Structure 1
């Protein structure tokens, strides 16, 4: 759905003008559409209707409690990669039995807490992690449910920083080592082998890499069955891309239909519960970063629109050279269009949000950085001692504050000055 649209030349989030949100909450501010998030998740749920499927939301995309709460109420499971994300799920009312715990560096305390909470499964990413989990589970008298995250060496065709399924990536267990490690898992007394996991990357815009990875997973399923290791579920990860600029990713339904079609042709495919781990495709296009133009300046042939948001607010352009559309919040103002680089006030040349954009703007104007609902606030920082902005969730004609703007004093509240006897 198109949650952000112009009405009488004013850009709205659902039925609330973004200019009104800026007036109430200031800038920079993250603005999310409740309807867009719900609609995206519901599309996945509808495409999986009638099948044994758990659609997990990948919390790393956007972990605001209001969004986690919204998705938990709609029946989502959750994919987490840290103990902190588990605590967010629990604080938002999520069901730990619908949580899968991924990530390459799980600490003992995180494992223990997840076991005590009763998570559904640990997606194990190395032999060392497998042995540690067995030890931790045994120390508290539990059996840990596990699946192995298998690295199928499939190219997702995405940016190298968000590709996770190739042999040179840090994630998962190599496909040709997986059978041996499964034998080890089955032999350890405090583990219970329940599934297999695969995730090859993010912002994938074609179906073929998903199916290639699934074929590799099914090869292992057959080999494991021959060893007497029978699995309960297949976790096929996530990574479905969204449209930022001119991408044409498949629909949510088309991806799931292709996966189910491949499973239906496999002798054992119909017997498995299928798990997915979608993040960006649920929240990415459901959010914008609202920012105000502070200064306009020219350095030779380059024109810069310096705004009050920066790379510490939205890291993706600096980190990945990622594209985000930029729209004026008010159209039809007496402005002349020109080509601008939209940059922030952080003291780094890499601090930019958009380059070479044709915009009709003046100092004081509001801009919306589009498609910023995923990996925006979740990746933000306080670099240059910059407080992070507010987060607002729009529900129809209501704008709900779901995270207060930080204050400067919040940023050093946990720090301490030197005692007098150490200050010399």
Structure 2
């Protein structure tokens, strides 16, 4: 089912015209389809039936409280990578026992906060963290349930900046050193080893890297059990890709069938941590054209969204499909760069893109912006964050309003020795 489509020549999110939202909240804004979020979840849930498995939504993809709440109501836990995300998960109603705390650099104070909150599982990524967590748990008089995240040295064949399972990446314990790490964990009195975890990258469009990684970790599980460790859980992570341009990511059914085959007989409860796959195609960014600027070398379409709103094109050289909000059937096209107002040459949403002619005041929709869009935004150039909106059928509501510039300024202070500003 398509949740963003033209109706009577106007782009709609479900039953709401994007132009209607723009008129009320201004541009740029992010828009999420509740129907698309539910459909993405259902694809996972339907094919998990009969498996001893759970899904913990990876909040780093999109930590909007409304989005996290929606998934929680459907039965998801949360995969977090910071105490801020933990606070968001709890605020959205996710039970602490269904929260998994991942991340390569957890401070003692953060580990203490997680244990005090009752987080269900901590994925440990180094021997140093094992010893730190043991000390913190001892101070609190509790025993921490942990897995150790292992790095299987498998090439996810994705963008270098979102590959996480190679020897050269900062994440996890090298699989060749994993038995030593488990031996240490087994000696620490305040840790309860419950399983093993992995995560090899993001935006994967092939099952082969997943299969290779699972095979390597499955062999490790056999070795660890022979060493006397109780390994009851296998946290497989997330990373399945979505469609931005012409990608053909694996179907959830095929992915889960492969996992079931490769883990058959292992006797582990499985945990999946999808993020992008659940939210990526469920969100769009809507922007207004400020002006069209012809140049000697190329034409620039200058819009009011910028790299501070959506950094993926600049950071990852990422492609996002861009459509006019008002349909232009069989219109001639122009080749242009779609750029923002920020004082950076890297401030672009698309380069050398063939688009139907645009003019000042036109609205455009940037597709597949639900993951790593609003959550990575900044206030660079003192530009307020774009608001976030959720549509559900024929209704919509703002889930995060656009802050005013006065609100941005009020969060800062002059130093005491500076003279007051004269009004």
User: Which of 300, 319, 323 is residue 327 of structure 1 equivalent to?
Assistant: 323
Inter-CA distance 334–174: structure 2 relative to 1 (3 Å threshold): closer
Q: Indicate the residue corresponding to 1:220 in structure 2.
A: 220
Q: Matched residue of 1:324: which SS?
A: coil
Displacement of 1:77: 1.2
Matches within 5 A, 1:266-345: 267=265, 269=266, 271-332=267-328, 337-345=333-341
For the structure 1 residues 301 and 177, does the alpha-carbon distance in structure 2 shift closer, same or farther, using more than 3 Å as the test? same
**Using a 3 Å threshold, how does the CA distance of structure 1 residues 228 and 179 change in structure 2: closer, same or farther?**
same
Equivalent residue, structure 1, for 2:84:
84
Q: Which residue of 2 aligns with 1:153?
A: 153
The aligned counterpart of 2:411 is 414
* 3-state SS of paired residue (2:273): strand
After superposition, the Cα gap between the structure-2 partners of 1:170 and 1:80, relative to the gap in structure 1 and judged at 3 Å, is same
Following TM superposition, where does structure 1 have runs of at least 4 consecutive aligned residues deviating by more than 6 angstroms? none
CA distance in 1, matches of 2:44, 2:371: 17
Q: How big is the shift at 1:232?
A: 1.4
Q: Cα gap change, 1:300/1:51 in structure 2, threshold over 3 Å: closer, same or farther?
A: same
Answer yes or no: is 1:47 the counterpart of 2:47. Answer: yes
| Whole-angstrom CA distance in 2 between matches of 1:296 and 1:4 | 26
| Corresponding position of 2:2 | 2
Q: Deviations over 1:338-378 (max 9, x none)?
A: 11110001100000001122222111100000000000000
Query: Using the alignment, how far apart are the partners of 1:423 and 1:17 within structure 2?
Result: 48
Deviations 1:359-408 (A, max 9, x none): 22111100000000000000000000000111100000001111111111
Q: CA deviation at 1:333?
A: 8.4
Shift of 1:69: 0.4
The answer to whether the aligner puts 1:359 opposite 2:391 as a matched pair is no
* Aligned counterparts of 2:418 and 2:25: Cα–Cα separation in 1: 44
Specify every segment of 5 or more residues in structure 2 that has no aligned partner in the other structure, as ranges.
Answer: none
SS of corresponding position for 1:278: coil
Q: Any conservation in 2 of the 1:335–1:362 contact (CA below 8 Å)?
A: no
Distance 1:273 1:222 in 2: 15
User: Aligned pair in 2 of structure 1 residues 299, 55: CA closer, same or farther (>3 Å)?
Assistant: same
CA–CA distance in structure 2, aligned partners of residues 322 and 61 of structure 1: 15
- SS of the residue corresponding to residue 57 of structure 2 reads strand
Tell me the residue number matched to 2:380: 383
String of CA shifts for 1:11-59, please: whole Å, max 9, x gaps: 1100111111101111000000001011101111111111211111000
- 2:282 and 2:420 map into 1 onto residues whose CA distance is 50
Residues 1:138 and 1:420: Cα distance change in structure 2 (over 3 Å): closer
Cα distance in 1 between the residues matched to 2:252 and 2:172: 25
Q: CA RMSD in A?
A: 1.4
Deviates more, 1:162-171 or 1:103-112: 103-112
Distance in 1, Cα, partners of 2:130 & 2:410: 38
Is residue 15 of structure 1 aligned with residue 15 of structure 2? yes
SS at match of 1:281: helix
Shift of 1:299: 2.2
Mapped partners of 1:96, 1:294: distance in 2: 46
Q: Give the whole-Å Cα distance in 1 for the aligned partners of 2:390 and 2:159.
A: 30
TM-score (normalizing by structure 2): 0.97
Name 1:66's counterpart in structure 2.
Answer: 66
Question: Residue by residue, what CA displacement relative to the aligned partner does 1:286-342 show, whole Å, maximum 9, x if unpaired?
Answer: 000000000110221211000000000001000000000000000148975311110
Q: Contact 1:318 / 1:352 at 8 angstroms: preserved in 2? A: yes
Q: Alpha-carbon deviations, 1:249-275, whole Å to 9, x = none?
A: 1111110111101112xx4x2x21100
Q: Distance between the aligned counterparts of 1:118 and 1:53, measured in 2? A: 21
Matched, 1:243 2:243: yes
Provide the rounded CA distance (Å) in 2 between the counterparts of 1:107 and 1:115.
Answer: 12
CA distance in 2, matches of 1:181, 1:310: 45
1:130 and 1:367 map into 2 onto residues whose CA distance is 49
